A and B are shown apart, each in its own frame.
Chain A
Amino acid sequence: MKHIVSLILTLASFVSVAVSAAEPDGAAFFESRIRPVLVMHCYECHSAEKTKGGLRLDYRGGFEKGGESGALVNASAPDKSLLLQAIRHDSKDLRMPKGADKLPDGAIADLTRWVSMGLPGLPENPPSAQAAATEEWQAKLTKRRAHWAWQPVHKPTVPSLAAHPVDSFLMAKMREKGLEPAAPAAPAALLRRLKFALVGLPPTEEEIESFAGDLSSSPHPIVSPSTTEALIDRLLQSPQFGEHWAAYWLDLMRFGETGGYVRDYPIPQAWRYRDYVIRAFNADVPYDRFVQEHVAGDLLPPRINASMKINESPLGTGFMRLMEVSSTASDVALEEAQIVENQIDTLAKAFQGLTVSCARCHDHKFDAISTADYYALFGTLASSRQSQVIIDAPEMKDSGVAAMQSAKHQMKDRLLTLWKEDVKNEAAAMQKWLQAGPGNKPDKATFWGRVLLRQKVDRADPGHLFTSIARMPANERWEKTAASWLNEQRRESSAREERNRNKFKTMADFRESDAGWFFSGVQPSAVWSGGSDFTLMPEGKELVDRFVSPGLSSDRLTRKHGSIARSADFSLGTQFVSLRVAGGSSAHVRLIQNNFQQMENIAHANKVRHFDSRFATWVTVPVGHQASWQGRRSYLEILTKDDAAHFRRSDEGNKPYQLVVNDATGRSWFGVDQIVEHQTPGAPENELHLSLRLAPPSPEWNTKTLATHWRKECDAALDRWSRDAAKADDVELLNWLLEHGALRNQLAQMPGDVQKLAGQYRAHESAVPRFQRASAIVAEGTGFDSPVHRRGSPDSPGEKAPRRFLEVIHGAEGYTTGSQARLELANDLTSPQNPLTARVMANRVWRWIFGQGLVATVDNFGVMGEAPSHPELLDYLANYLVEHDWSVKALIRHLVTSRSFQAQSIASAKAQQVDPANRLLSRMPVQRLRAEAVRDSILAVSGTLDQTMFGYTGPANQSESAAVANPKLRRGVYQYIRREALDHMMIMFDAPEPSRTQGDRETSSVPGQSLLMLNSALVHEQVTAWAAKDMKLRKGYSTEQRIEHLFATALGRQPSAHEVQSLVEFIDDQAEAYALPPAARGSDQRLWTDLCHVLINAKEFLYIP
């Protein structure tokens, strides 16, 4: 009811402002009888937005002024008013509404009366374009919502004409036309039909014998319904069911595995989505859950696949990533608009049978879908981010975590004691060295030797003071040098701080907080921490890798725990962003604008920056100075290597782009503690606090104070580390000590218990699995409401369209959650109030079984689609689906157990006359095999079909698991779909180009199909293999026997005597053409290869009667 309330409010507010002081009856008459006519028939051309002919009809002044054709109203002779002449179509030259039907007589009478009343009720002032548009839309919405598809699903009474409800509904319509259903199909034909309908494969000889009985017996044995149902149940339970039905679904999801266009780069792990769909159909995941997972699988409670130990749920959102994407974008806003358009188009057509994307530039021309609806969905989807997500079940992610934590925890106290001892010794060594005076170089092999003999040392280095002393000439007093160093260092320190302050603006400082960033990854490695931590080497002679700065980091426990850190949305006005990061193995930072992921090695690759540094260092990302980049909705993301795709052109000419992601271990890591933005190039200068901290405040210079102070600071840093309270400077100091060998780190130098703990840690670390990722979307941040793009152009933003579902279904109330609004959308799609979801799916299942939908336009239930041929049956099936717990298998079973499905495909003379298109289904339609089934059948009858399920089948690729051997022999659904090199056979047999949703595959008949069946290498390889196998299998069979078996394998039935005879003649003809002697005819394989070739070229091979 919400929408109606809002309509009334709109009108009411309008009336209260605008109604003139005319007679009250006149105003009421205007509101009830005139305004609706003006809104529906006139305002599209004659109101605020458009004033065709210079005429506006939305306020009094407009009527008084008239248009280019002159005054509208003749006050002295109202009946002769131009307005009335135009609507009465008095003259040929001026007929209104233009290009449309004449208004109803009643409306003309009302307008005539209204003119004679003196135009009461009109607003005095011109309404704004916005107000006019809103009013016009509300009027259209009220009218358009009467369309059948928006009405609630009814519970129709099942006519009692047949045992099966489906047959009853169909027979009711047939009876109206005097038709009777066709007789039942022969058992062999029924078997073949069921096999292709349910699993997409031809029956085997064994199946034919067990179902249809002995091939040689005639007439056909009767098959009992229970035998048929047992077969149906077996097929529904077979793994091949999911493979066949997933292929239908993948058409809807315009499934492809590359991004198309010039570079055609791979879409990472697209195959996982395909496998997910196959598993979902096999597991009969309730359809409402399946829909929800597509829209918001990342936000739902997990659906754990116990055998694979993965969470299936987020895989559904992968469909949002399967579209074609430009690889050379320079206008990211336009790219985003195109990507989201494709997402909305797919979502709306596939789940709702609606052409919502028609409302991208203007309100839908025919349906109750406004531009505001479109952009409400736009904001809902664009508030999400594209991401790789880990799909492993929690138990996998927890592997070894507790044991590794415990080993580290026990080690920590031991290390503290050992390292304090090391610091004490090094302080003593320093004192000794200082006492020896300038000119005495320390031993190179010691810590102080390594530190002091370095050539170039930055002032920020913790050892800078000591290096300066070490460089001093032998005849000078070092105390003097130290004092002047302190002065100089202080001056430089404030200068650097000031320069940094002036040039850089902090975007995020993780040293104190997580700065509102989003952090995903495997806990507890991937966390923000303000204290400090340390990481261990997974292998080698050293124990500790590094001390971890306060901030975000991915590898606190192990580098196998990948992670992604992302900022909230921001808009940049500066040209550079710099980040202080540590990291390695292809860890990288990306600047994402308008959700568009620029690809590496391709245009604008500089938005991606890799870094490889054990300790913190600055990296800079250039934003670009132009409006294309600045002011965009942006975010930063920092990722470990498995969590994002890198693209690299293959070195081999025209080969496809590759995903380059992984090494064998899967280890990668990052840490980040500061992010700044700036207008000129160059990262922040290192500041000098730490090096100043290590020098005692003047004037206490002597060997003892210097060494004591140094030791005190180092001890303090270690103590704070042990209490998880180290600050950034402490960590920098500790890492400096560790790197130069002041803190012992060789495993061999460690006491036995520490070595043992290290061994335990390493054993568990190496057992941490390589996590599985999938392309998905994630919800982060507050979400945003998109402005309407005027005329579809993102450069012309209009009013904001708050995120919500279609007004006609769920009212105009906006969503209340942030980026998680997709969950609200998922619920709206599957709520009992939604009249479309169940209907659309029931109709699709019907289409996939019977070859034509009850609504023939399966992707369009709108006004321009076709009305249902059997509306009551459609609603009955929608209810059936919902009431059977949204079980697609139950619905399929219900349909194929009907007598209608099991009927012959032969039309009676009457049916041919009355219903040639077979809309009433008095017989089962003849259907051609789908492209996948053509291919699978050729392989299956030839005995070469590899029935291995699942996995990546594309070209060798570092990022994907190893491809299976010879994927070409696997079922069609597993064939790799490279958009710019689509499989010729699939295209020839009408597999759609994967660009847009296709729920109703065309079935064409073109010569190219026959050329392929006649001459293609694939066909010839297969028939050759088939004949060779059959020769071995049926040694000693007669020509006739052999023909019978091959025939049955190919066409699923026994040949007639006439057919056997003509094929025997064919064998003779070929033998003659090959000039074979009569004796060789049984044993020459070429004859049998040719016979197999003939059989699969028979139309009966492709067409299922």
Chain B
Amino acid sequence: MKLSSLSRRSLLQTSASGFGWLALQSLLADRSFGSPVQLTTPHLAPKAKRVVWFFLDGGLSHLDSFDHKPRLTQDHGKPLQIAGKKEDITGRTTNAILGSPFAFQRYGECGKMVSDLFPHIGSCVDDLTFLHGVHGPSPDHESAIGMLHGGSLLQGFPSVGSWAHYGLGSENQNLPGFVVMGSRKRMYRTNGFLPPVHQGSPFFQDPARPLADLVMAEKIKSLQQNKMRAVGQLDRDFLKSSAQNQIIEAAIANHEKAYVMQDAVPEATDLTKETAATLALYGVGTQHKETDEFGRQCLVARRLLERGVRFIEIVSNGWDQHGDLQNLHAKNARTIDRPIAGLLKDLKGRGLLEDTLVVFATEFGRTPNTEGGGIKPGRDHHPWGFTIWMAGAGLRPGTSHGQLDDFGYFPVEGAVDIHDIHATVLHLLGIDHERLTYRYSGRDFRLTDVHGKLVKEILA
């Protein structure tokens, strides 16, 4: 049996102060407590202390959002001719080029071209760092999502948030260190072979409850307090009879921590104290039907970040537009554009963007040639070249790195793969991706496997 969630020091501290209320107070006061596997010293000087990772599930079209390719409009309807062009994936794709149905315009001092899908994010471009030469190995959702999250096409690998939590631990013992919002899928929050304590906590699976089993079952607080006291008595006797067994001691401490979390989590997710201006910034409220849910998640994310949560993944679903790209991409974008921009502006306004990293990722882009054709054309999966952007700590803001060819098909410069993205994210967190390893069945595993190069060009 492994003692995974308490340090020896904190154990002694809780034991010394006795159990019950005093212990709880000391737990609350001790901010460094609760880090499951804390690196004694970071490998590098960390730029970012925390991460918000947006994930657009299904494949956002880079060609219709942040990677402006006027050649597609010029050659609309003509056959796509690219040396080394890949086979189509679904067998339904036609070879006709599809010009973007969205208009692009310049934003910010950097003059970045952004489509009408994302006017609010467009207004933040001077804070963003675009990677236009991203490429992945797989055109299938499942393995591409696996690669983006776990650095592997195979099953059973920990997700990037789990690795970050393993590397850095948590800053707040009353809240989970790694939170996933917007999806139930296991792939985003799995700890793989890492200890279960590094698994992402799914927030808001039930919109009414941020976290499972958090709401006190008793109607009156004193009823639960009495139970805690009675349990504490039994546990103290049990601990004594076990000659102060550490495993039992740890379990007792965690029981008391759970008690505290019942208050800490609702406090962190309570938006009633936010100002009207803040709510509007995120598009939260009944007057903002399209953005309310995603906006809430973004705003809760900011509150969690302020309270020391390390890694928050927010998932936006339904980007797989094989058909009717114009309407459906626009509909999806409307739900996330304002909230994401709101979070960026809010973080910046509070000075948090300086040591927070924001990543905006999708598992792959979409093809320049059309699928479906006809009156509601769409685009097929395109992992060979697409866009991910980042913002915040340690990055060069208002810049773009890498470029695809005129059709947005293959990178012609600044190609980066998913391992490189992972290496760079870990680097910004002060972790050397080659040294963050976990021994599992006889091998030291890394998020970046045997790959990963730092994308130095985007670092400040």
Interface positions of A (Cβ within 8 A of B): 260-262, 323-324, 326-331, 334, 338, 341-342, 349, 355, 358, 365-367, 603-604, 624, 626-628, 851-852, 857, 859-860, 862-865, 905-907, 912, 925-928, 979-982, 984, 987, 990, 993, 995-997, 1002-1016, 1020, 1056, 1058-1059, 1062-1063, 1065-1066, 1069-1070, 1073-1074, 1090, 1093-1095, 1097-1100, 1102-1103, 1105
Contact = CB atoms under 8 A, between A and B. Distances in A.
Contacts of B91: 604, 624, 626
Contacts of A365: 443
Nearest to B156: A995
Given A331-B138, A864-B439, A928-B247, A990 B1 contact: no
A366 B231 contact: no
Ranked nearest first, the 4 interchain pairs of A and B with the lowest CB-CB distance are A995-B156, A1010-B258, A864-B442, A1007-B258
B213 to A, nearest CB: 4
A53 to B, nearest CB: 21
Given A323-B155, A928-B1, A987-B199, 8 more contacts: A604-B91, A993-B186, A993-B190, A997-B441, A1003-B1, A1005-B250, A1009-B251, A1065-B230
Interface stretch (B217-225, B279-287, B331-339): B217-225
B142 A1069 contact: no
A1099 B439 CA distance: 30
Most buried by A among B155, B214, B245, B255: B155
B238 interface: yes
Contacts of A993: 156, 186, 190-192
A358 B213 contact: no
A1010 B222 CA distance: 18
A334 B87 contact: no
A334 B215 CA distance: 45
Interface string B313-339: 000000000000000000000000000
Given A326-B142, A860-B442, A1099-B251, A1006 B197 contact: yes
Contacts of A912: 243
B216 interface: yes
8 contacts: A262-B185, A334-B153, A865-B441, A993-B156, A1014-B217, A1020-B217, A1098-B238, A1105-B242
A979 B187 CA distance: 11
Interface string B56-81: 00000000000000000000000000
B140 A349 contact: no
B212 interface: yes
Nearest to B239: A1099
Contacts of B184: 980-981
Given A626-B91, A1006-B197, A261 B192 contact: no
B234 A1094 contact: yes
A1069 B186 CA distance: 43
A1005 B234 contact: no
Interface string B256-295: 0111011000000000000000000000000000000000
A1065 B241 CA distance: 22
Given A355-B443, A1015-B217, A1103-B247, A1066 B224 contact: no
Interface in B116-160: 138-143, 153-156
A327 to B, nearest CB: 7
B142 A1008 contact: no
A1006 B222 CA distance: 24
Contacts of B212: 984, 1008, 1011-1012, 1016
B5 A1005 contact: yes
Nearest to B90: A603
Nearest to A982: B186
B223 A1074 contact: yes
A854 B340 CA distance: 53
A1094 B234 CA distance: 9
B434 interface: no
A1103 B248 contact: yes
B322 to A, nearest CB: 11
B4 A926 contact: no
Contacts of B439: 864
Most buried by B among A925, A981, A1100: A1100
B89 interface: yes
A119 B224 CA distance: 83
Nearest to A851: B1
A979 B190 CA distance: 12
Given A925-B1, A1014-B217, A1094 B237 contact: no
Nearest to B87: A626
B398 interface: no
Nearest to A627: B87
Contact of B1 (A334, A342, A926, A1074): A926
Given A925-B1, A928-B1, A1015-B213, A367 B196 contact: no
A927 B247 CA distance: 9
A1070 B223 contact: yes
Given A330-B139, A334-B153, A980-B184, A355 B442 contact: yes
B258 A1008 contact: yes
Contact of A1005 (B142, B222, B251): B251
A1059 B439 CA distance: 44
Most buried by A among B88, B195, B217, B220: B217
Kindly state the interface size class of chain B when it binds its partner: 35 or more
A906 B242 contact: yes
A995 B187 CA distance: 11
Contacts of B199: 987
B17 interface: no
B153 A338 contact: yes
A327 B227 contact: no
Contacts of A261: 142, 187
B155 A324 contact: yes
B252 interface: yes
Contact of B193 (A260, A990, A996, A1005): A996
B293 to A, nearest CB: 16
Nearest to B212: A984
A1002 B226 contact: no
B441 A859 contact: yes
Interface string B1-39: 111111000000000000000000000000000000000
B105 interface: no
A97 to B, nearest CB: 20
A355 B440 CA distance: 10
Contact of A1059 (B87, B226, B234): B234
A1074 B218 CA distance: 11
A979 B186 contact: yes
Contacts of A864: 439, 442-443
Given A323-B155, A1002-B4, A980 B234 contact: no
Contact of A1012 (B139, B142, B187, B213): B213
Contacts of B153: 334, 338
A1073 B191 CA distance: 42
Contacts of A1070: 223, 226
B106 interface: no
A990 B2 CA distance: 12
B231 A1005 contact: no
B376 interface: no
B94 interface: no
Contacts of B186: 260, 979-980, 982, 993
Contacts of A328: 140-142
A1011 B213 contact: yes
A349 B443 CA distance: 13
A980 B222 CA distance: 38
B261 A1073 contact: no
A987 to B, nearest CB: 7
Contacts of B261: 1007, 1011
Nearest to B185: A980
Contacts of A334: 138, 143, 153
Contacts of B142: 261-262, 326-328
B254 interface: yes
Contact of B442 (A327, A865, A1002): A865
